[in-house]
Structure 1
Amino acid sequence: MNWIAVFVSALATLVVGFIWYNPKVFGTVWMNETGLTREELQKGNMLKIFGLTYFFSLLIVIVEMTLTIHQSGAVSMVGGFAKVNEALPSFKAFMADYGTAFRTFKHGAFHGFISGLFFAFPVIAINALFERKSWKYIWVHAGFWIVNLTIIGAIICAWL
């Protein structure tokens, strides 16, 4: 595992969020749809908010890693990374032939996008529907996560 790639890709949510929720992009729409004002937003504990956002992003990256890197399934079949050295020669031959297959920026971006569209979007939409939020609200947040997961998938798959 390349821990630098994990830590860097987790920064995507903070960087994209800084741009996405800027009043010149979708921030004004988001504030209107949530009923928040700039004054209310400035009252928040930013260290806590950004710190927890980064921590939760690390968890998301770990899950996204298993969705974008197909070799994770092969490694899990032999009992995880701790058991790789004990694996049969057929596993080592398989990894020699296919260990880097589909390990590209483009492939990771594709799986990240699919994760956003078919997982994050429905979760956000379900919660928002029960909270009686608008479709604008849903698309602002779903778009944010689709972009984020696309970037996270791309970084993690190409760099790891």
Structure 2
Amino acid sequence: MKPELINFPAVFVAAIACFILGALWYSPLLFGKAWMEENGFTTEMLQAKGGTARIFGFAFLWSLVMSFNLAAFLAADGVTLSFATLAGFLAGFGWAASGLFMVGLFEYRSTRYMLINGGYVTVALVAMGVILGLWR
């Protein structure tokens, strides 16, 4: 790893992309209703729990950590867009989604639940890989 090859504005933009993707992924437009069903949530329950600013703040922080981590792995000479995209996919599917599936099995979660969450982290890391790969 060459720390001087980490592009911090790209890390920030990739984190924002991850955060926005999450808002869309878990919205009623995509998988929000299915995700709520799988968790036994209702809109009223989520609104009553509150803490939205705290949750979104930490969600962005973890997006930033994910983005920086991927950027650190890509901080080498000769990294191409295709390699960065593949690295994002392998990190998302090979590490994050696989880990979510493993934990989900022990928690007796449904395949649907694991696909929703595993799909999000995989797509988010691919998007981050694309951004980090393009902005070198």
Shared fold per TM-score greater than 0.5: yes
% identity of equivalent residues: 32
Report what 1:155 is aligned to: 131
After superposition, the CA RMSD in angstroms is: 1.4
Given residue 62 of structure 1, which amino acid in structure 2 is its aligned partner? F
Report what 2:79 is aligned to: 102
Question: Does 2:59 correspond to 1:53?
Answer: yes
Instruction: Quote the Cα distance in structure 1 between the aligned partners of 2:7 and 2:92.
Output: 23
Given residue 131 of structure 1, which amino acid in structure 2 is its aligned partner? E
From the CA coordinates, give the structure whose radius of gyration is larger. Answer: 1
Unaligned runs of 5+ in 1: 72-98
Report the more deviating stretch, 147-156 or 59-68: 59-68
Question: How far does the alpha carbon of each residue in 1:37-63 deviate from its partner, in whole angstroms, 9 at most, with x for none?
Answer: 111222331211111011111111121
TM-score, length basis structure 2: 0.87
Instruction: Quote the Cα distance in structure 1 between the aligned partners of 2:116 and 2:130.
Output: 21
TM-score, length basis structure 1: 0.75
Q: How far does residue 143 in structure 1 lie from its aligned partner after superposition?
A: 0.4
Instruction: Quote the Cα distance in structure 1 between the aligned partners of 2:46 and 2:21.
Output: 18
* Greater length-normalized contact order (CA 8 Å, ≥ 6 residues apart): 2
Question: Does 2:21 correspond to 1:8?
Answer: no
